Structure 1
Amino acid sequence: MSGQHDDGRIRSLTFNCSMAGASCDVEDMTLETVKLTLIGTFLLFVFLTSTSLNSFVFLLFYKKFKSFTISNCFQLNLTACNCLTALIIIPFAFASLIYGEWIFGLVWCQVTGFVLNFVFAASTLTLVVISIDRYCAIVSPLHYRMKITRMRCYFMIGAVWVIAGIISIPPVVGWNKFEFRTHKMICTVKWDSDNKYDSYYNLFLVCICFALPLIVMVWVYSVIFRAAKLISQKTRRNSLVPRILEETSHSPIILDKRRRSSTAPILGRKFSVHKLGALLWYRDEWRTAVTSIIVFLTFIGCWLPYFTVIILETLLQSDHKVPPFVQTLSIALALASSAMDPLVYVFRSHKSRQELREILLRKHAASSESISKQYMTQEVYDPLKQRSSVQLLDEKCVPYFTRTVK
C-alpha cells in the first residue's frame, strides 16, 4: 500500500512538471510537495471546521425547534448541503490528492461526480433563496408573513433540489460526462471537451449555478442596503434631536433655578432617547451594509475561481493552459464554502451565538453538577439498621464519614 502511495505521488508530481513543459528536477519536486502539503492541510482544516460548525447548527436548531422560523428552514437547507459536501466530497478529494489518482472505482467516480454537481448547484440556489427571504423581511416587513408562508418555503426548498437534480443529470445520460481529473482531486464534468454540445452544457451550468445567482444576489443586497439607508435617513430627519439642539443653542432665555430644575431633566431624557434611537439606526444601517458586503465577498471568493476555471477550460478546450495549482485551488475554495456558510449566515448573528453558548454552558453545568454530586455522595454507617446507607450531604455541611462503634 505504501508503494502504491509513493507511485501515485510520483506520477502526480511528474504529471505536474510535464504540464509546465519541463523535466522534474529536485526543486520542482520540492515545490510540488509544498503545494501538496498546503492544499492537503487546507482541506483537512475545511473538513474539521465544516463538520464542527454545521453540527453546532443542527444542535442549535434542534434545541430551538419550538421557535423554528421560516428563515431557519432555508438556513437548515444550506446546512444540509454543507454536510453533504463535508462528508461525501472532501474525504475522497483528500485521498485523491494524496494518492495522485482515483482509487475508488468507476461507479463511485460517477456517484461523486453527480453529488458534486448536485450539492454545488443546491448550495448556490439556496443562497439565492436566502437572499430573497431577507429581501422580503427587510424591504416589506409588514407583508412578509403573507409573501413567505410556510408552504411557499417548502415549495422553494423543494424547487432548489429539483432544479439541482435536473442540472446534474445530463452528464449521466450522455450530455458531457464525469471523469477524474488529477488537478481537481475529484471526479467532475469534463470541462475541456472538444465536443461543442458538451461545451453548451458547461456554459448552461455556469449560467444557472453562478451567473444567475450572482445577478440576483447583487440586486437583492443592493436594494436591502438602499432600503436600510432610506429608513435610517427618515428616522434621523424625523428625530427631535436636531431641533432640540438648535433651540437650546440659540435660545437667549435664562431660566430660573426652579424652571431649570424641572425642565432640564425632561430635555435631557428627550435628548437621550432620540440620540439612542439615532445611534441604533446608525448601527443597524452599518450592520446591514457589512452583512451585504460579507455575503457578496464570500460568494465571490468561494465560487468565482471555480466557475472561472470552468469557463476557461471550456473556451480553450484544454486544461493544460490553466495552471495546475489554480485548478486545485479553485476546487478547494469551492469546498471551503461549506465551512464559510455557517459563519456568515448563522453564527454572525449575536442571538445565534448567545443561544449556542447557553446550550454549551448548560451542558457543561449539568456535567459539573453530576460530578459534584458523585463527590458529595457519602457512605454513612447506620447503627440502628446495622447496615451502610448512601446519604447525600447538604452543600452547606462539611463532608464527613461517621461510624458508630458499640
Structure 2
Amino acid sequence: MDTAEVFLSVLVVVIIIVSLLSNVVVLICFLYNPEIRKQVPGVFTLNLTFCNLLLTVSNMPLTLVGLVNKGQPGGDAFCQLVGFFETFLTTNSMLSMAALSIDRWIAVVFPLRYHSRMRHRDAALVLGYTWVHSMSFSTVAACLSWVGYHQLYASCTLSDVMENSRTQFVIFTVFFHSLTFLLSFVVLCVTYLKVLKVARFHCKRIDVITMQTLVLLVDIHPSVRERCLEEQKRRRQRATRKISTFIGTFMVCFAPYVITRIVELFPSVPIDHRWGILSKCLAYSKAACDPFVYSLLRNQYRKTCRDVLNRLLKPSSLNASGRGHHDHETRVRNNTVQAAAE
C-alpha cells in the first residue's frame, strides 16, 4: 500500500468510529427522552440514525477490507447482498434528509397549522415512501445483476458486473441518481431557502422593535446598546449558518461520489482509483456528520446527553464517596488502636 492508500484506510477507520459512536449516542437520547420520541421529526431522525448505523457496521468495514486486500471481500453472493444494502441505505438516508427539510419548512412557514399538517401518521406515510423508493431501486439493481464489487471504489456497490447491458445500466444509473440525489438536493434547497426567508423576515421585525426600544431608552448604557446590536448580528448569522450547514454537508459529502458515478459512465474519461475511494469515503462521512447536524448540536439533545452522563456517573460517585468514608473510618479506628497500645 502506498501513502495515499494508507491515508484512505485510516480515514475509513476514523469515519467508522465517529459514525458508530455518534449515532449510538443519538439512539440513546431518543430512547431516554420521551419528549424527543413524541416529536414528529424524531421519526425521520430515528430512521436516518438506523440507516447510518447499518451502513457503518455492514458496508464501511468491508470497504476497508477491500482497500487493504485490494480485492473483493467474500463471495459474489455475499458482495451482491452487501451492495443491495448499500444502495438501499444510502438512498433511504438521502430521502430522510429531504423529509426532515420538509418537516422544518412546514413548522416554520405554517406554524399554526403544523400539528394538523404533520402528524405521526403523515410522517409514517412519508417514511413509507422513502422505503418503497429505496427498495424499488435496490431490488431492480439486484435482479438485473447490477450490484457487485467495484474496484474503483473498493466496495460492493452498483456495478455493471455482466457488462452485457451497458445502455440499460447507463439509463438506470442516471435515472437513479436523478430521483435520489438530485431530487433530495432540490427539496433541501427549496424548503430550507424558504425557511431562511421566513427567519430573516422575523429577525428583521425583531431588529426594528429593538432599534425602536433603543431610541426610546436614551439613557441606556452604551455597553448594553452594543450588546443588543451584537445579538441582532448573531441572530441574522445563526439562521444562515444552520441552513448552509444542512445543504453544504449534503453537497460536500454526496456530490463528489455522484458526479464520479456519472463521469464513470463515459469510458473515455479516466478516473484514478484513489479519487474513487476518496469520493466513497466522503459519502460515508455523511453518516458521521448527520448526528451532529440534525441532533447532537441541538439544546434538547445536549441536555439529554448531560442527563444520561450524570445518571451514569452518579452511582460511581456515590460508591467512591462511600468507599472514601469507609476508608476514613478505618484509618481513624487504626489510629485509635495504635494510640491506645502506645
Give me the TM-score of the superposition, normalised by structure 1: 0.75
Q: Which residue of 1 aligns with 2:282?
A: 333
Q: Tell me if the contact between 1:191 and 1:202 (Cα under 8 Å) persists in the aligned partners.
A: no
* Distance in 1, Cα, partners of 2:283 & 2:237: 28
The structure 2 residue matched to 1:309, chosen from 260, 279, 290, is 260
Q: Tell me if the contact between 2:150 and 2:158 (Cα under 8 Å) persists in the aligned partners.
A: no
Please state how far the C-alpha of 1:365 moved relative to its aligned partner: 2.6
Unaligned runs of 5+ in 1: 1-31, 249-263, 379-391
Please state how far the C-alpha of 1:66 moved relative to its aligned partner: 4.7
1:122–1:247 distance in 2 versus 1, CA, 3 Å: closer
* Distance in 2, Cα, partners of 1:399 & 1:214: 70
Higher relative contact order (CA 8 A, sep 6+): 2
Q: Which residue of 2 aligns with 1:353?
A: 302
* Distance in 2, Cα, partners of 1:160 & 1:290: 28
* Distance in 2, Cα, partners of 1:109 & 1:46: 21
Please state whether the residue corresponding to 1:346 is helix, strand or coil: helix
1:278–1:227 distance in 2 versus 1, CA, 3 Å: farther
> Do structure 1's residue 198 and structure 2's residue 149 form an aligned pair?
no
Unaligned runs of 5+ in 2: none
> Do structure 1's residue 131 and structure 2's residue 101 form an aligned pair?
yes
1:108–1:63 distance in 2 versus 1, CA, 3 Å: same
* Distance in 1, Cα, partners of 2:100 & 2:32: 22
Q: Which string of whole-angstrom CA distances, capped at 9 and with x for unpartnered residues, describes residues 10-53 of structure 1?
A: xxxxxxxxxxxxxxxxxxxxxx5111101000000000111111
Q: Which residue of 2 aligns with 1:299?
A: 250
Q: Tell me if the contact between 1:235 and 1:278 (Cα under 8 Å) persists in the aligned partners.
A: no
Q: Which residue of 2 aligns with 1:400?
A: 333
Q: Which residue of 1 aligns with 2:88?
A: 118
Q: Which string of whole-angstrom CA distances, capped at 9 and with x for unpartnered residues, describes residues 93-120 of structure 1?
A: 1111111111311111110110010001
Give the aligned residue type for 1:360.
Answer: L
The structure 1 residue matched to 2:187, chosen from 206, 216, 220, is 216
The structure 1 residue matched to 2:132, chosen from 155, 162, 179, is 162
Q: Based on CA coordinates, which of the two structures has the bigger radius of gyration? A: 1
Q: Which string of whole-angstrom CA distances, capped at 9 and with x for unpartnered residues, describes residues 342-398 of structure 1?
A: 1111122133223212321331232121233244347xxxxxxxxxxxxx97xxx98
Q: CA RMSD in A?
A: 2.8
Q: Tell me if the contact between 2:5 and 2:274 (Cα under 8 Å) persists in the aligned partners.
A: no
Q: Tell me if the contact between 2:83 and 2:158 (Cα under 8 Å) persists in the aligned partners.
A: yes
Higher helix share: 2
Please state how far the C-alpha of 1:275 moved relative to its aligned partner: 9.0
> Do structure 1's residue 185 and structure 2's residue 154 form an aligned pair?
yes
Give the aligned residue type for 2:89.
Answer: V
1:288–1:70 distance in 2 versus 1, CA, 3 Å: same
Q: Tell me if the contact between 1:376 and 1:399 (Cα under 8 Å) persists in the aligned partners.
A: no
